[in-house]
Amino acid sequence: MKRVFSGVAPSGNLHIGNYLGAISQWLELQKHHNCVFSVADYHAMTIFQPAEKLREKILEIAMIYLAAGIDPKKSVIFIQSDVLEHAELTWILNTITKIPELELMTQFKDKARRFRNKVNVGLFDYPVLMAADILLYKADFVPVGEDQKQHLEFTRTIARRFNGLYGETFIVPEALIMKESAKIMGLDDPNKKMSKSAENPHNYLGLTDEPALIKEKIKRAVTDSGDGIIYDKEKKPGIFNLLTIYSLLSGKSIQKLEKEYKNKNYGEFKKDLADVVIGFLSPFQKKFEKLGKNKNHVRRILADGSKKARLIAQKNIKEIKNKVGLNY
């Protein structure tokens, strides 16, 4: 079976974009692949958050994976910092990474602009840590949203470079990016992606948002001038985005929705969309709440996941260290 690796950093609030772009793919993949899913807590530290907050978020993301349907009997779920080899491989890969390669990264440039006085070396090195995550498990596939494409390209470059310098070691992994859901846009600005680090909470539909808040956010979502529920990215980016979400969550095709809302206005459309989102989130939120009442159960799953992840990581890091000459 081919191996799949992916992760989410425990910072901010997970939103419907994260679910549709990444996690929904994981659910399918775990049926026929050897899947490893990480809570990327070292990644979350690249923008400062207080220790208490980070601790809380780590467990929350694990609970979100489980509530969404990631099955610990089929997939390995673990916390990145529980497996020391991630940091170890990051160091080794740092030595074959060129500074201008990292300076090119869109996410770095974007975050460096937004968090101007908080830019640290970790934020700059983020893509190397991500490459280490993936390569450490010799993953074949990495299911992510569109925004991670560049980091995956970088990972592929580093894998090839290492193999060229030290001999065939790493699999050159492939990004799995879905067409329709790869980039869900912000509700407050359909030209920017929905983002969990957005300053405006009305940018995203949080997976744990209560029904009243979902209704309010969708009601306030930026739409386009004129009326008509039409799927046109250029002319109607707001409605385009809302139609995408509606279609993916309800399973109804875009054409069917366009027909259904032909003579209806934005208000009616938004009201129905809110019901679809709330209906979709309801079973997830129930499971999430239940897990919240038994955090020790979640901790046990994570301890077991870390054990399994460590077995793979330790075997591979041994080979890697041998290849570069870190044995004597």
Type of residue at 86: H
39 binds, among ligand LTN, ligand ATP, none (CB under 5 to 8 A by kind): none
Of 153-212, which residues contact ligand LTN (CB under 6 A)? none
Q: What are phi and psi of 65, to 5 degrees?
A: -55, -50
CA angle (46, 37, 93) in 5-degree steps: 50
Known active-site residue 111: yes
**Annotated binding residue at 194?**
yes
Which of ligand LTN, ligand ATP, none does residue 5 bind (CB under 5 to 8 Å by kind)? ligand LTN
Based on the residue annotation, tell me whether 2 is a catalytic residue of this protein. Answer: no
What is the dihedral sign for C-alpha 198, 201, 284, 219?
negative
C-alpha span between 60 and 277 (Å, rounded): 20
Sheet holding 141-143, edge to edge: 76-79, 34-39, 3-8, 141-143, 174-176
Residue 223 binding partner per list ligand ATP, ligand LTN, none, with a CB distance cut-off of 5 to 8 Å that depends on partner kind: none
Which of 17, 3, 18, 316 lies closest to 142, judged by CA?
3
Residues 4-33 that bind ligand LTN (CB under 6 A): 5-9
Q: Distance between CA 170 and CA 155 in Å, rounded?
A: 10
250 labelled ligand-binding: no
Position among 61, 68, 130, 182 found at the interface with ligand LTN (CB under 6 A): 130
- Cα distance between residue 33 and residue 26, in whole Å: 10
- Point out the catalytic residue in the list 138, 149, 196, 308: 196
Report the residue number whose CB is nearest to ligand ATP: 21
Q: Which listed residue (57, 111, 215, 236) is catalytic?
A: 111
105 among annotated binding-site residues: no
Most distant CA atoms of the chain, gap in Å: 75
Of 40, 76, 302, 317, the residue at the interface with ligand LTN (CB under 6 A) is 40
Footprint of ligand ATP (CB under 6 A) = 8-9, 11-12, 17-18, 20-22, 144-145, 147-148, 181-184, 193-197
The nearest distance, CB 9 to ligand LTN, in angstroms, is 5
Q: What binding mask, one character per residue, do residues 283-302 give for ligand LTN by CB under 6 A, x or -? A: --------------------
- Is 64 among the annotated ligand-binding positions? no
**In angstroms, what is the minimal distance from the CB of 282 to ligand ATP?**
22
What DSSP string runs through 53-72? HHHHHHHHHHHHHHHHT--T
Catalytic residue, candidates 183, 193, 236, 270: 193
Binding residue per annotation — 282?
Answer: no
DSSP string for 146-210: GGGHHHHHHHHHHHHHHHHHH-S-----EEE--TTTS-PBPSS-TTSB--TT-SSGGG--BTT--
- Enumerate the known binding-site residues for L-tryptophan: 133
- Enumerate the known binding-site residues: 17-18, 133, 145-147, 184, 193-197
| Catalytic positions | 111, 193, 196
